[in-house]
Homo-oligomer: A and B are copies of this chain.
Amino acid sequence: MSAQRRTGLGTNQEAVRRHNLGTLLRHVHAAGQLSRAELTTLMGLNRSTIAGLVGELEALGVAEHASPSGSARQGAGRPSAGVRIADAGPFVIAVDLGVDKAVVARVGLGGRIHRRAQAPVVGGGEAWQVGASVASLIRTVVEDAPAASPLVGIGISVPGLVRRSDGLVRLAPNLEWHDVSFGGIVLAALGLDVPVSLGNDADLGALAEHTRGACVGVDDLIYVSGNVGVGAGVIIGGHLLRGYGGYAGEVGHLRFNPTGRPCHCGNRGCWETEVGAHAIAEAIHCPPDRVAQLDEVLADFGKPSPELRTTGTALGHGLASIVNTFNPQTVVLGGYFTSLYQLVSTEVSRGLADLALPAPLESVTLTLPGLGGDSPLLGAAEIALEPLLVDPVAALDAALDDVHARVAMKAG
């Protein structure tokens, strides 16, 4: 799920080729289109080497030739040929299990959403029902995929704790799931066997914002997600912070006010009891059946009430602890925090400035997601695409080639 890190392993030369091929594809994936000249400077390799790598990616059907882009350098000299993601290249399925709906998309390299579909999800629904619904959505989005395009994998964003070792959903409060192997359920419902990766929604939101959202080029960021609970995805040094079990970033249960209200986790005064969906809903007298759509409710909100201002301050105060702990360059406010911040940004900023230490405060910026509500969805696509960016040849070997036929067969 996170980018590959150096282990204690040595590097042999076939690893060099794999790495360079993957890195080149990662650059094109991130930028959309690049000239070969830009690639030589980015990667520090010789022109001729780049030519060889590009040729191999084109032969694999992953990249394709593009006319020199106008945006590149203008001046004397032969214009450099462009490289871009192939139109009918490999793709992944991205799934975003939201609070009240599931969104499924067919996503190609470059983060391009080719087709999307969604269906409502009832809270407390059985996992196999949700799995069947997701499988049906997957069939829909796969329907019109180019025949030659292989399926590389499925990425799923889950609002809950996902075990890192095997992707088991340990706990998803909104869905009332405990220890659900949702990846296996979806595969079974599809009748396919492809690589499935699962991740926490905030983690994936952070990943997407880092790759192609508001934080491109920012290597230390935190995506704080207000969903029903509160969680954070942390990218530090360009790498997703996952923790030993994969549960890092559970900031919703930071100790906030020991004399505060009881939290469903059994303690008292967790941050979530002040800035969680239920707390906000109460503060703005939102009807209980609309809590799942709190972001929309807040977006339609007029003038912020004093209660909402207090919530904004509490948000800022909690962010201060996070900023002191992680010293990020950017904090992205996702989920319903996006709408909340637009209403009470002054209070949030002031709350942050009140409690944060000067050193980490001076360099931090609060922003909104560059991808809107699609961050977790595109993050799910990213983790599914990751093998392709580590070793394109191996990932394509493992990919499913005749998806269209297989999925149609099962559906019929």
A-to-B contact residues, CB < 8 Å: 2-6, 8-13, 16, 19-20, 23-24, 26-27, 42-45, 49, 161, 170-171, 219-220, 236-239, 241-251, 253-259, 265, 267, 317-318, 320-321, 324-329, 354-355, 357, 359-360, 362-364
Contact = CB atoms under 8 A, between A and B. Distances in A.
Given A4-B6, A10-B20, A10-B45, A236 B255 contact: no
A39 to B, nearest CB: 9
A327 B247 contact: yes
A254 B254 contact: yes
Nearest to A221: B244
B220 A243 contact: yes
Contact of A255 (B10, B43, B220, B355): B355
A20 B11 contact: yes
B3 A357 contact: no
B255 A258 contact: no
B8 A42 contact: yes
Given A24-B10, A325-B250, A359 B5 contact: no
A102 to B, nearest CB: 24
Nearest to A45: B10
Contacts of A16: 11-13, 16
A173 to B, nearest CB: 11
A250 B360 contact: yes
Task: Across the A-B interface, give the 3 residue pairs with the lowest CB-CB distance, nearest first.
Answer: A243-B327, A10-B43, A244-B329
A12 B328 contact: no
Contacts of A2: 237
B8 A357 contact: no
Contacts of A318: 255
Given A254-B321, A256-B258, 8 more contacts: A5-B5, A8-B42, A11-B20, A245-B359, A249-B327, A253-B324, A253-B355, A255-B255
A42 to B, nearest CB: 6
A237 to B, nearest CB: 6
A11 B241 CA distance: 25
Contacts of A267: 354-355
21 contacts: A5-B5, A5-B238, A8-B23, A8-B42, A10-B19, A170-B359, A236-B243, A245-B359, A247-B357, A247-B359, A247-B360, A248-B326, A250-B327, A250-B360, A253-B324, A254-B254, A254-B255, A255-B256, A255-B318, A255-B355, A265-B357
Q: Which of A49, A220, A265, A321 has the most chain B CB atoms inside 10 A of its CB?
A: A321
Contacts of A27: 8
B43 A254 contact: no
Contacts of A249: 325, 327
Given A8-B27, A255-B256, A255-B317, A360 B13 contact: no
Nearest to A260: B258
Contact of A253 (B42, B256, B357): B357
A374 to B, nearest CB: 24
B10 A44 contact: yes
